[in-house]
Structure 1
């Protein structure tokens, strides 16, 4: 997420997570669960027609994430758990650490069935942040999560969507495509920056599903 100043950033996050709160309340099962597959109302960006993606991996023992990598985008960043602040909005990664990814810890842990949620700033007042290039992700890209149990869970991107803020559908953004498989959502701000309202006009939501797992290198 991002904005031109700290107060604007707070507004941007609050709008996004209000949707999360409303969806969670309606679902009644916690973030990352829903009654069935859903799809977004915005066409996937760059999805090749008939592209073959690898089969889904069965759920594995869930563990907390500590590092996220998207090699095709040059993203490699530490992951920190985040919750909700006193106002009921997600507590984003600190502005002082724009290269950090936040994981919504009260929700799904990577490896479990459901959608694990990850958020990151797109920029700061002076420079690009960790998810600056996220909108360039394409189906087939790999997202690698090093976890606290010493394993790497590899997810494959299968959907990239841009949701206009005025038509944001939390169920479509956060709900799993298949509630029985492990998935993730990578979320940041997108569209253009509206100086009149102090927010970005859209959210980029990258979806992926678990396709492989391996032991983490000894130095990770």
Structure 2
């Protein structure tokens, strides 16, 4: 189904991502799940696995935490993303308030959470499409483990993260700890999230979320 055939483009991000982030304000920051720095990439799941992601990609060691700065720009070179970043808070339901519908090519950062490069998991969200065309994270499910995400801070510094996991998590299999929890104590991490799966007209929402996980490997 083309994006032009889907109703209410702005609302799709809100309903597709908000349900996944509903528990964010309760406990996910500081919630640890198993994992480790460097080594080999984890198997991908869902829609991503279906397109043949390579498994066991060698990954570089993690960089030690830095002070972290407020992000101003996020880049994913492998899919041509280079977008401004704005800080966002939680809405009345406890979900991240995404960028306004008029800003489909802007990425939102949960400003009350971890700063990218610091100890913890910095959380970013973005639109997948609008009523008529792709938005900033339309191609997110195409990224591969080993590829890079670059975050430019308000002081001009650049933190480089290496992708180690790509998952498409449906409503019935969504695990907030796996999606957002820091996977290794003391490791600076990043999550980049958008809608995934298919648009369900009955629910008025996407059926899944694409969750890309990365960890700090270089600074400059």
TM-score band w.r.t. shorter chain: 0.7 to 0.9
Offset from partner CA, 1:118-137 (integer Å, 9 cap, x none):
00010011111100000001
2:203 aligned with 1:190, yes or no? Answer: no
In structure 2, what is the equivalent of residue 17 of structure 1? Answer: 21
Query: Quick check: 1:34–1:179 contact (8 Å CA) kept in 2?
Result: no
Rate the CA distance shift 1:121–1:9 in 2: closer, same or farther, 3 A.
closer
Task: Kindly report which structure 2 residues correspond to 1:150-161, keeping only aligned pairs within 5 A, or say none.
Answer: 150-161=156-167
Give the Cα separation in 1 of the matches to 2:83 and 2:185: 27
Give the Cα separation in 2 of the matches to 1:167 and 1:90: 20
Offset from partner CA, 1:52-76 (integer Å, 9 cap, x none):
1111111111111000001110000
Rate the CA distance shift 1:8–1:74 in 2: closer, same or farther, 3 A.
closer
Structure 1 regions of 5+ residues with no counterpart? Answer: 25-30, 215-220
TM-fit CA distance, 1:156 = 0.5
* Count of residues in correspondence between the two structures: 206
Cα RMSD of the aligned pairs, angstroms, is: 2.2
In structure 2, what is the equivalent of residue 206 of structure 1? Answer: 212
Task: Kindly report which structure 2 residues correspond to 1:19-58, keeping only aligned pairs within 5 A, or say none.
Answer: 19-24=23-28, 31=29, 33-37=30-34, 42=45, 45=49, 46-58=52-64
Structure 2 regions of 5+ residues with no counterpart? Answer: 36-41
Normalised TM-score (structure 1): 0.86
In structure 1, what is the equivalent of residue 174 of structure 2? Answer: 168
Give the Cα separation in 1 of the matches to 2:77 and 2:209: 22
TM-fit CA distance, 1:34 = 2.0
Normalised TM-score (structure 2): 0.86
Query: Quick check: 1:37–1:179 contact (8 Å CA) kept in 2?
Result: no
TM-fit CA distance, 1:177 = 1.6
Offset from partner CA, 1:98-121 (integer Å, 9 cap, x none):
000000011110111111000001
Give the Cα separation in 2 of the matches to 1:159 and 1:152: 21
TM-fit CA distance, 1:18 = 1.1
Task: Kindly report which structure 2 residues correspond to 1:75-114, keeping only aligned pairs within 5 A, or say none.
Answer: 75-114=81-120
Give the Cα separation in 1 of the matches to 2:90 and 2:143: 27
- Secondary structure of 2:59 counterpart: coil
Query: Quick check: 1:67–1:145 contact (8 Å CA) kept in 2?
Result: yes
TM-fit CA distance, 1:36 = 4.3
Give the Cα separation in 2 of the matches to 1:160 and 1:9: 19
